[in-house]
Chain A
Amino acid sequence: MSGSFLGLSTNVWVIIAAALVTYATRFGGHAVVSRFKTISPRVNAALNAVPAAVLTTLVAPAAVFAGTAEALAVAVALIAGLRLPLLGMFAVGWVAIIAFRAAGL
């Protein structure tokens, strides 16, 4: 991309604009919710479900579409995660993905 405005390249302007809209998404949710004095039970239930729902979407497609080694590593990490604290399961999952990939899966 070429061109410039006020001495800055188009690239830099795009980056600045993108940074501003990104910050708006990070402040925006809170700005909207905090306008209400009280939060209804349904809205509260919805917001309480956000972490589990979002985290699931970051794991599930990766487990399903990435490949056999990745799917098996997630399964191993899941079992480990039910017994071990986070860093322990993280280590087990890491070893699992290396091992399954080394095995050519």
Chain B
Amino acid sequence: MTMTRADYFAGLRNSAAVVVSASPFALLFGALAVKNGLSVGEAVLMSATLYAGASQMVGIELFGKQVAPWLIVFSIFAVNFRHVLYSASIGRHFGGMRFWQKAVSFFFLVDPQYAAAESRVERGLPITFAWFIGMGTGIFVCWVFGTWIGALFGGMITNPRALGVDFLLPIYFLGILLGFRTRSNFLPVVIAAALGSIVAFHLVGSPWHVSLGALFGIVVAVLLPPGDPAPVDAVVEPGR
């Protein structure tokens, strides 16, 4: 029980940097959702049930235009398709969970949650249900609350650009990425995924660059001969 509590609060602490980086996007989403014709309640419902930032932005963009409902749902599905990769990869470390705990955990599998979980695995720590929902509820509450505030006061938010908050998530993801640098085939995978995502971003556009670029890096990893597994203690505290 004490162990579980400690894990929960460790997860909650791990969510702090994400809460700072994601809050502006939650506010922005709420504001844009109302501007595109959703009610405050619908905006909050969307954040609480989809809980997937990029796809929510795409969704409200389409709500604003007269697009067929099924096409909106399909577009959101396409944007979120990358979660299939996260799920397949991190699900391998959910072994200690009961079925319902896995089912709850997968709901919280957003990009930064996935990144922090993989970085925890990299440090040799177990992915417990308590840690996972500790981080998950930290981000979730901030996301839903931020949406509500953004939807209520959307018009009053001034440009967050000067404070740099709109660029914090890439910096956060870079930090997590560096935690994996001792993993075998790290550089070839990163170079392939970087080139793939840049080209895909240019030719196909966002958010397809995530799935396409990642696929490029994964194909390189499959084709390369397997390297030595990285020693866990060589990793420099990625998730802290």
Contact = CB atoms under 8 A, between A and B. Distances in A.
A15 B46 contact: yes
Contacts of A1: 37, 63, 66, 69
Contacts of B37: 1
Interface in B183-240: 183-186, 189-190, 192-194, 196-198, 201-202, 206, 209-210, 213-218, 220-222, 224, 226, 236-240
B106 A27 contact: yes
Chain A interface category by residue count: 35 or more
A98 B190 CA distance: 27
B218 to A, nearest CB: 5
Interface in A12-53: 12-19, 21-23, 25-34, 39, 41-42, 45-53
Interface string B19-57: 000000000000000000111001001100111100100
Interface string B132-164: 000000000000000000000000000001111
Nearest to B42: A11
A22 B77 contact: yes
A41 B225 CA distance: 10
B189 A49 contact: yes
Chain B interface category by residue count: 35 or more
A89 B175 contact: yes
Interface of A: 1, 9-19, 21-23, 25-34, 39, 41-42, 45-66, 70, 73-74, 77-78, 81-82, 85-87, 89-90, 93-94, 97-98, 101-102
Given A29-B84, A56-B189, A58-B173, 9 more contacts: A15-B42, A25-B82, A50-B88, A55-B174, A57-B209, A61-B198, A81-B174, A93-B174, A102-B162
17 contacts: A10-B69, A14-B72, A22-B52, A25-B87, A30-B94, A42-B222, A49-B185, A51-B114, A53-B193, A56-B177, A56-B190, A57-B213, A58-B210, A74-B171, A78-B178, A87-B240, A93-B175
